[in-house]
Amino acid sequence: MLTALALGLLGFPLLAALALPLGRRGGLVVHGGSAGLCLLLALAAGGSLGFGLPEGVLGLPFGPAWGGAGLAMDGLSAWFLLLLGLAGASASVFALGGPPRGLVAWPLFLFGMALALLAADSFTLLLGFEAMSVASWALVALDHREESNRAAARLYLVFAALAGLCLVAAFGLLGAVEFAAIRAVPPEGWRANAVLVLALLGAGTKAGLVPLHAWLPLAHAAAPSHASALMSGVMTKVALYVLARLLLDLAGPVQPGWWGLPLLALGAASAVFGALRANLEEDTKTLLACSTIEHVGLVTMGLGLALLFRGADLGALAALAAGAALLHALAHGLFKTLLFLVAGAVLHAAGSRRLDRLGGLIHAMPRTAVLALVGLGAAAALPPLSGFASEWLLLQALLAGWRLDEFGAQMAAAAALALVAMAAALAAAAMLRFFGMAFLGRPRSPRGAGAREAGRFELLALLLPAGLTLLIGLVPGAALALAEPAIRLLAGAAQVPAQGIAQGVGLAAGEGQAGLLPLSVALLLGLAGVGAWAVIRWRSPGATRRGPVWNCGFIDPPEHLIFGDPLSQPSAAGLAQPLRRMLGGALLAGREAVAMPSPGETRPARLEAGFADPSGRFLLTPAARLRDAVAAQVERLRDLSIRGCLSMAFGTLVGLLALLAWLEGG
C-alpha cells in the first residue's frame, strides 16, 4: 500500500519533468495527469480510512545521515490526504479549461503537499513543506508583469521563509528525526514551550493566523484561480496539519492544558478579523482569501479546545473538539476550493475580479450561480450544508467549555463562543455581499454584460466539491466515522472517547443529549417548501407578470444608460458601510470622509471610504524598518580588513564548536 503510494507520489515530479519538453501542449497531460493522480490519492486515503490503515513505515533510499527518511500513513495524514486528493482533482480539472500555465510548478506543488502529509520523520516533512512553499511561490509569481503581483510574491517569499525557519527550529528542538523516536521521548520544560511558540509562529504563518496573515490575501489574489483554490483550501490545511502533528501528537500527551489557550485566542482573533475584512474587501479573490483566514481560525480554535479538554482529562469533549476541527478542515477545504474556482470562472467569463465591475451574472451563468450558492451557503454556515455541521460541532464543544475547572478557561471558552458566533454571522454577510454583487442585480460593466456560462471542464470541476459539500452536510456522521483514527490521535491515545460523536449519519454532543440530524432537517425543509408551493399553487394560480422595477419610484434611467443608472445600484463600498462603521472603525481602522466642494465650486462632492489592516502598521512597517537597519549594519562588514574577515569566520567556528560542546554536555 505504502509502496504504491510512494510510486504514485513519484508521478508528480515525472509530470513536472514532462511539462518542459511538451511545451504549450503539455497542459492536457500535466493537468489531466495531476487530476488522475489526485483522485488516486483520495481513493487510497479514503480506502485506508474505511478499511484499515497501512502499518509501519516505508523507508526511503535517501535522507539525512543521522536518521532515515520514511513515509507512513496514520489517521491524521490520511484525513488530510483525502482533502488534498479531492480538492487537487477539482482544481486540476478546472485548470484544463484555462490556458496551460505554471505546468512545472503545479505538480510539484501537489507533490510537496502530499510528501509533507505522508512524512514519517521531520526531515521528509520539512522537505515536502518547503517544496510546497517554493512551488506555490512560483505560482503566485506567475503573472509577474503586474507590479502588485510582484509585491505579493515578494511578501509571500519572506513569510514562507519565516515559516520554514521556525519549523526547522521547532523540529530541531524535538531532538530525534523519526516521529516514533520523538514520541518515545517527548520534549519537556522550556524545550516544550519553545516548541509551542515556534510551531505557532511557523505553522501559524503558513496557515495565515492573525497577526501573521498579511501575505495571505495578497498572494491568494495574485495566483491563478486554480492555484489560489488549492493554496486556500489545502495549503493552509497542511500548515494546520503540521501544527496538530507537532502540538497534539509529537509533543506528547503530557502537555499542560493551558497550551490550548494561545491557540484558542489566535483562532478567535483570526476568525473575527478575517470575516470582518472579507466584508470590506472589494476584490472577489481577496475577499475569499480573507474568509480563509476566518475558517483557519475556526479550525485552530477546535485544536486549541482539544488541548484544553485533554489537559482537564475530558476525553470525550476533547474528541468532540478534535472532530469539529477535522470536519471543518475538510469542509472548508472543499467549499473554499469551490468558491475560488467560482471566482476563477467569473474572472474568465466577466473579465474582472472587482465586485464593482460585476453584477447580474446569474442570468448569463445560471449553473455556476447555483453551484456558487452551495459553496457560499456552506461558508455562511447555513444548514444543511457541510459548514453548518462542522460549526455545530465546534459550537457544541465551546458550549461544553464550562466543564473546564478554571474560571479563566471557562470565561475564555464563553468569549470564544461569542466570537465564533460573530464570525459566522460576519461570514454570512460577506458571502451575501459576494453573491449579491457578482451574480444578482444588473451588470456594472459592458464586459460583464457579455459574460457566458463557464466551460464544461470548469463546470465539472465545480460539481465535485459542490456535491461533496452537500453530501458532507447531509451525512456528517458518516464523514466523521472516517475520521475516527485521527480523532483518537488528537484526543490523546490514552483517553478513547466512550461514545462516538458520529451517530449513524448524524452528530451527537453533550453525552448524546444534543443531536443534529441534517438529513431530517433537509427533509423537513423540502417538505415545508413543497407544501407551501402546493398550497400557493392551489390558492394563487395566477401567472407572474413582469414589469419595470419599482425601487420606491426611483426615476427611470436615461436612454443612454443601457444597464440602468449605475448609481442606483449598491456598490461594494456601500454594502460594506454598516459593518465598516459598526466594527471596522475599531478593528480595521475603517474611515469615511466626505469632501464637499465649497459654495460656487462645480466639482462633485466625494465620499472616500477605506480601511487599513493594523498588521501593516504594527508588523510590516516596523519589520521593514528593522530590515533597513540590519542592512545598514551589514553594509559596514564590507569595509572590514582581511584580518577582520578572518576573525569573524574564526569566531563563528569557535562559537559553533562551543554550542556543540554545550549541547552534548547537556
In degrees, rounded to 5, the angle at the alpha carbon of residue 506 between the alpha carbons of residues 500 and 507 is 50
By the 10 Å C-beta count (0-12 exposed, 13-18 middle, 19+ buried), 44 is classed as buried
**Cell triple for 525:** 425543509
Least distance to other proteins, CB of residue 132, Å: 35
Q: Which is nearer to other proteins, 513 or 641 (CB)?
A: 513
| Closer residue to other proteins (CB): 125 or 271 | 271
DSSP 496: -
Length of the chain: 666
For other proteins, give the closer residue by CB, 254 or 532.
Answer: 532
H or E element at residue 70:
strand 70-71
Kindly tell me which of 530 and 596 has the beta carbon lying closer to other proteins: 530
Nearest distance from C-beta of residue 170 to other proteins, angstroms: 34
Least Å from the CB of residue 201 to other proteins:
28
Residue 155 or residue 420: which is nearer to other proteins going by CB? 420
Smallest distance from other proteins to CB 464, Å: 24
Q: Residue 89 or 404: which CB sits closer to other proteins?
A: 404
**Distance of closest approach, residue 506 Cβ to other proteins, in angstroms:** 9
Non-local (6+) Cβ contacts of 121 within 8 A are 63, 67, 68, 69, 70, 177, 178, 179
Distance CA 344, CA 226 (A): 7
Residue 361: CB minimum distance to other proteins, A: 10
User: What is the closest distance, in whole angstroms, from the C-beta atom of residue 349 to other proteins in the complex?
Assistant: 16
Continuous segment of H or E residues that includes residue 595: strand 591-595
* Residue-wise burial string across 199-227, b where 16 or more C-beta atoms lie within 10 A, e elsewhere: bbbbbbbbbbbbebbbbbbbbbbbbbbbb
For 67, list phi and psi in degrees, rounded to 5: 180, 145
- Smallest gap from residue 436 Cβ to other proteins (A): 4
514: left (phi over 0), alpha (psi -120 to 50) or beta: beta
DSSP 553: G
Q: What per-residue string of b and e applies to 550-573 under the rule 16 or more CB within 10 Å gives b?
A: eeeeeeeeeeeeebbeeeebebbb
* Nearest distance from C-beta of residue 649 to other proteins, angstroms: 55
Query: E-assigned strands of 264-384?
Result: none
Q: Are the C-beta atoms of 467 and 384 separated by less than 8 Å?
A: no
Q: How far is the CB of 568 from other proteins (least distance, A)?
A: 5
Q: What is the dihedral of CA 7, 9, 14, 19, to 10 degrees?
A: 150
Nearer to other proteins by C-beta: 58 or 414? 414
Angle between helices 75-96 and 456-474 (to 10 degrees): 150
Cβ distance to other proteins smaller for residue 544 or 641: 544
As measured in angstroms, the least distance from the Cβ of 368 to other proteins is 13
Instruction: Name the residue among 241, 453, 471, 520 with its Cα closest to residue 334.
Output: 471
Supply the minimum distance, in Å, between the C-beta of residue 450 and other proteins: 16
Minimum CB distance to other proteins, residue 302 (Å): 15
Q: Say how far residue 251 (Cα) sits from the centre of its chain.
A: 24
- As measured in angstroms, the least distance from the Cβ of 179 to other proteins is 37
The x, y and z cell numbers of residue 355, run together, are 465586485
Local structure of residue 582 (DSSP, 8 states)? I
Q: Of all helices (H) and strands (E), which one includes residue 607?
A: strand 606-610
Closest CA to 219 of 321, 278, 143, 326: 143
C-alpha to C-alpha distance for 175 and 181, rounded to whole angstroms = 9
Between CA 574 and CA 592 the distance in angstroms is: 11
Residue 179 or 388: which CB sits closer to other proteins?
388
Burial of residue 422 (CB within 10 Å: 0-12, 13-18, 19+) is: middle
Other C-beta atoms within 10 Å of 259: how many?
A: 21
- Minimum CB distance to other proteins smaller for 130 or for 294: 294
Q: Which is nearer to other proteins, 582 or 626 (CB)?
A: 582
Distance CA 398, CA 648 (A): 55
592 sits in which H/E element: strand 591-595
Of 248 and 318, which has the nearer Cβ to other proteins? 318
Nearer to other proteins, 542 or 600 (CB): 542
Query: How far is CA 588 from each of CA 89, 272, 275, rounded to the nearest angstrom?
Result: 37, 11, 12
507 bridge partner residues = 502, 516
Nearer to other proteins, 418 or 629 (CB): 418
Nearer to other proteins, 540 or 633 (CB): 540
Task: Write down the least CB distance from residue 263 to other proteins, Å.
Answer: 20
Helix axes 315-350, 366-379, angle to 10 degrees: 150
Nearest Cα neighbor of 343 from 220, 213, 207, 234 is 220
Q: How far is the CB of 333 from other proteins (least distance, A)?
A: 21
Closer of 193 and 568 to other proteins (Cβ): 568
